[in-house]
Structures are given as C-alpha cells and as structure tokens.
A and B are shown apart, each in its own frame.
Chain A
C-alpha cells in the first residue's frame, strides 16, 4: 500500500500520521526524574543520546528554554519554539560555542557548530537530562532559527522513530506551488475515514454547508472536501487555493488532530483557532462524517458560530 505504514494488528496509517503517532508514544513513555531535578531522556545504555536531545526539541511547540545537562558535567541551554532552535543561551563544559552564543538568532551558518555542541553534551555512555523553563527573551517574529528537522537530517536521525513501524516511500505529491496556481476548482477529496461512518452522521449530509451559511459574511473563504458536499467553496480564489493546498497536504493529520480534540473519535466537531478568537482572523475547521470544512473567519464570529453549529446540527 503505497505511502502507508502498517502498525501492529493490521492497522494502517498514512505517512503523514507518523509524527502524531510518535508524539502519542512519547506521551505514553514514563518520565524518569533525576535526583537533582530534570527529566532523564537518555541513560548510560542509550545508543544515541543526541537523537533523544533532538526529539525533545521536536516535541516542543510552545516557546521554552530547554537546558540539556550531561552527567559528565557539560550543558547547553537552547531557546526553542515550534520545532526550531532559536538561540543558544548557555554552554558549559564544551568548546567552540562562541559564535552560537553571540548570535541573536541561529542561522544556517551556525548549524555545524551547533551539531558539534549537541554531540559533545549528548555524548554516549552519559546520562542526559533536560529541564524546561519559560523563555526569558521574547520570540523575535523575524527570527526563524534552525529547524530541528534540518539538524536531524544532517545527522541521519529519524525524529519520528516509532518501533515496529515499517517505512515505505511516501506518495508522490505535486509541488505546492503547482497546486496553488491551479485554476479549476478541482477538490482533492480528503482521505476516507477507515472506520464505518454511523448512519446518523450520513443522514446529516449538508450540515457543513448549513454551517457555512450560518456563519454569514464573517466566513470570508471556505471549502468542503469529502462527503456529499465535496467541492463546495466560496471566497477569493487565492485564499481558497491556499486552503485546498493545505488539505491536499495535511488531510490525514488534520483528521487525527480533530480526533485528539474531540471527546469521541470520528465525532462531529468544529474547531476555531486564532490569536484572540473574538477579533482579527481565525481558522475554522469542522468535520461531520467524512466531510471537512476549512475556512477563514474575519472578526468576532464566536457567538454566531455557536448558533450556526447548533442550527446546522439540528
């Protein structure tokens, strides 16, 4: 099955789900707290402590200051956010840290030095601990830092290593830019949900269209993929194309994210994500059965959303 991975008892997962499976596995792993504080992420027998270090960074979405301390006495403190290493703020017991420490934001030119420092602190046969604290410096919106995936690639480390999962080649996907300029409103259906959709949900065909209508002009761009309303869309072509490109790339991951925020897997759900929720712009994503609506809300649509959802689901 091209582009899919098989997990244990016949469970198949698309490649895009692997980071989420890896995240779930990490959540299940019991924590071992060291005597002096900090969480042990690699013990004496760990074959690759630097992989453990990189996975910690990869697990960190919110801005945090992570201090990695080796039982050998050396340490590194990294400001990280969104799976990127923004800055090196402290280095003890290692040499060659000057250029990284002096950099207000780590850039591509620092990656070799950073890798050497990581390898020095995360040395084999030494316990490695991590402690996490709020970042002391503001996240500079212009500083993107070094993606941990880039560092991992250079070290040939698989960040989403899930034991027992066979890796197969991902499906060939057209470049994002090609999809964005595609003029015809051809909607790629969302990956079908593997479990059977309850009859009650099937009977609610048209729910997402009613939700979109209920949201009114605050919903400035949207499209529906999957289900009976597959292909319905409205809004500026550029915005809709962007949403479509996102769904092309992330449909499977999105379904899993919706499952994670739902109280029940596969249940109808509507999620809104934004800076403030009651002003500015928000992303809205709703799922009913195999259909997904993805759109952009402008302004305060919070109260309208509740009415629209209740009305659509009635």
Chain B
C-alpha cells in the first residue's frame, strides 16, 4: 500500500479526520496528504510547523524529564483538533492530522499509530 493509500484508508475509517498528512519533521516538509478539506500548501506548511513546535521545548523538556521522550501530541483549539504522532524508530517521520472535535480519539490515535509504523517500516 502506498503512503497516499495508507493515509486515504485513515480518512475512510475516520470521516471526522479532515486532513491526514505524512511529514518529515527534520526537513519541515509534508510529503503526502489526504483529506476532505481543500488545504493549500501554506496550510500544510503551517501544520508541519505546528507539529515541530509541539515537540519542542519547553513542554518537550518537561515531558522528557517527567516521563521520557514524547511521541504524541494533540492540540485542541476552538475550531478543530490537531493530532501529531512521531515514529518511535525514526522520530523525523510524523503524521499530522486535523480532525473534528467529535472524532473517536482513542480509536483514531491507535489507527494512525499503526499507519505511521507501517509507513516508516515501508510495508
């Protein structure tokens, strides 16, 4: 399954996910994206920057100090929910998602973790 197909499968399983994008955080680039929202490259760039910022200090350092290195973050705003997951084997690989507040978050996080692991492993 290609990366785009993997991302499309997430959207199909969770229609409340507006955008699911695969990013290389080290190069600050969204490499592939799928979703029902019509997003521009600027939107995707911003999403990638927000993912990087969410895995940055000072909260990153606090988390490392308290529980170990974080691989997931979510940002709840007035209009949407953004979920960012980093690969545990290659932390530059990440999935960046924009969702409705009504999404089944527990199931969704498990699904995108499985998807990210699959993409990183190249399977």
A: residues with CB less than 8 A from B are 19, 23, 27, 61-64, 82, 132, 134, 141, 242, 246, 249-250, 253-254, 257, 260-263, 267-278, 280-283, 285, 296, 300, 302-303, 305-306, 309-310, 313
Residues of A within 8 A of B71 (CB): 275-276
B: residues with CB less than 8 A from A are 25-28, 46, 49-50, 53-60, 62-64, 66-79, 81-83, 85-86, 90-92, 101, 103-106, 109-110, 113
Q: Are B62 and A283 in contact (CB under 8 A)?
A: yes
Q: Are B64 and A257 in contact (CB under 8 A)?
A: no
In this complex, the member of A242, A246, A271 whose beta carbon has the largest number of chain B beta carbons within 10 angstroms is A271
Q: Are B60 and A269 in contact (CB under 8 A)?
A: no
Q: Are A269 and B90 in contact (CB under 8 A)?
A: no
Residues of A within 8 A of B110 (CB): 278
Q: Are B57 and A257 in contact (CB under 8 A)?
A: yes
Min distance, Cβ A292 to any Cβ of chain B, angstroms? 11
Q: Are A272 and B81 in contact (CB under 8 A)?
A: no
Residues of B within 8 A of A306 (CB): 76, 81, 101, 103, 105
Q: Given contacts A62-B91, A281-B67, are A273 and B60 in contact (CB under 8 A)? A: yes
Question: Could you say which of A64, A246, A261, A302 contacts B106, with CB atoms under 8 Å apart?
Answer: A302
Q: Are B66 and A272 in contact (CB under 8 A)?
A: no
Taking CB as reference atom, which chain B residue is nearest A253?
B58
Q: Are B77 and A273 in contact (CB under 8 A)?
A: no
Q: Are B54 and A261 in contact (CB under 8 A)?
A: yes
Q: Given contacts A257-B57, A302-B109, A303-B106, are A263 and B26 in contact (CB under 8 A)? A: no
Residues of B within 8 A of A310 (CB): 101
Question: Could you say which of B66, B69, B76, B103 contacts A283, with CB atoms under 8 Å apart?
Answer: B66
Question: Could you say which of B46, B53, B72, B103 contacts A276, with CB atoms under 8 Å apart?
Answer: B72
Q: Are B74 and A271 in contact (CB under 8 A)?
A: yes
Taking CB as reference atom, which chain A residue is nearest B82?
A261
Q: Are B54 and A271 in contact (CB under 8 A)?
A: yes
Question: Could you say which of B46, B62, B73 contacts A246, with CB atoms under 8 Å apart?
Answer: B62
Q: Given contacts A261-B50, A278-B106, are A270 and B76 in contact (CB under 8 A)? A: yes
Question: Could you say which of B58, B69, B77, B83 contacts A268, with CB atoms under 8 Å apart?
Answer: B77
Residues of A within 8 A of B25 (CB): 62
Ranked 10 nearest A-B pairs via Cβ = A260-B53, A277-B72, A250-B58, A302-B105, A270-B76, A62-B91, A281-B67, A273-B73, A253-B58, A273-B70
Min distance, Cβ A267 to any Cβ of chain B, angstroms? 6
Min distance, Cβ A88 to any Cβ of chain B, angstroms? 20
Residues of A within 8 A of B50 (CB): 260-261
Taking CB as reference atom, which chain B residue is nearest A132?
B26
Q: Given contacts A269-B76, A303-B106, are A274 and B58 in contact (CB under 8 A)? A: no
Min distance, Cβ B95 to any Cβ of chain A, angstroms? 12
Q: Are B109 and A64 in contact (CB under 8 A)?
A: no
Min distance, Cβ A79 to any Cβ of chain B, angstroms? 13
A310 to B83, CA, bound (A): 17
Min distance, Cβ B81 to any Cβ of chain A, angstroms? 7
Residues of A within 8 A of B62 (CB): 246, 250, 283
Residues of B within 8 A of A262 (CB): 75, 77
Q: Are B59 and A269 in contact (CB under 8 A)?
A: no
Q: Are A271 and B59 in contact (CB under 8 A)?
A: yes
A82 to B65, CA, bound (A): 12
Min distance, Cβ B83 to any Cβ of chain A, angstroms? 8
Taking CB as reference atom, which chain A residue is nearest B102?
A306
Question: Could you say which of B28, B53, B59, B77 contacts A263, with CB atoms under 8 Å apart?
Answer: B77
Question: Could you say which of A61, A257, A268, A278 contacts B109, with CB atoms under 8 Å apart?
Answer: A278
A277 to B111, CA, bound (A): 13
Question: Could you say which of A260, A280, A285, A305 contacts B67, with CB atoms under 8 Å apart?
Answer: A280
A281 to B105, CA, bound (A): 16
Q: Are B78 and A313 in contact (CB under 8 A)?
A: yes
Q: Given contacts A274-B67, A302-B105, are A62 and B92 in contact (CB under 8 A)? A: yes
Residues of B within 8 A of A273 (CB): 54-55, 59-60, 63, 70, 72-73
